[in-house]
Homo-oligomer: A and B are copies of this chain.
Amino acid sequence: MAKKSQEEIYKQLRERICLLHYPPGAVLSENTLAVEFGVSRTPVRSALQRLEFEGLVTSMQGVGTIVASVDLKFLKEVYALRMKLAELVGDLARPRVPHGTIAALKELLEECRQMTDHYDPDAIARLYNDFHEEMLNVIGNEPLRVISNQLYYQTARIWLQILPDLDWHREVKLTCDEIAAVIEALENEDMRAVARVRRDYMSSFLSRINSYLASADSRERIGS
């Protein structure tokens, strides 16, 4: 593969982790990655260390770099916090909606609608990542933006992990609805409404997770 800088390697690895290309528990080898990216171990190590600081992997000497699994308690803590932070966005939003955001969201909405009849978890996960990136742009507080991003990637995998056991049509519809509701709120320049929408859909997702976990036989798929 062509040479990539440390930042690109980081983003690539992060995407692979949150798209479950590297599932929780997967063992990564710095050497293998170095060969794949066409660089030495050094920049790969930098990227992995950053992922370790953010809690996505754990390096163990003599073993390897292991993709972290999202344990239930941590998942709930992150979501409890993200819901609170989502409300904060209403207070700390940019005064004006960044140019192009609404147009981008409308494209994503159109893409999402076309997914109804094509079961493709990978594709909708990518789409939701793009949606997330757009939503970051309306946050007017830089540290909050950074933190929201970190927290998102710490748990983004969960959806993909349980998606095979959920109702595909319903998940696609809910995603479309969320994007549409955000667009409407943005067109009204009502940032608190945006915040409310985001919080409500997080809450909805959390309750879907809980009912998923309630079905006993599927409890171990999240894995410790």
A→B interface (CB under 8 Å)? 46, 49-50, 53, 74, 77-78, 80-81, 84, 88, 91-92, 141-144, 147, 151, 154
Contact = CB atoms under 8 A, between A and B. Distances in A.
B49 A80 contact: no
Contacts of A154: 143
B49 A143 contact: no
Given A53-B53, A80-B141, 9 more contacts: A74-B143, A77-B143, A77-B144, A81-B88, A81-B92, A81-B141, A81-B143, A84-B92, A147-B147
A77 B141 contact: yes
A81 B143 CA distance: 8
Contact of A144 (B81, B141, B144): B81
Task: Count identical subunits in the complex.
Answer: 2
Contact of A80 (B50, B53, B80, B92): B92
A143 B84 contact: no
A91 B143 CA distance: 21
Given A49-B46, A49-B49, A147-B147, A84 B77 contact: no
A101 to B, nearest CB: 20
B77 A88 contact: no
B80 A84 contact: no
B88 A84 contact: yes
Contacts of A92: 80-81, 84
Contact of A142 (B74, B88, B144): B74
Contacts of A46: 49
A88 B81 CA distance: 9
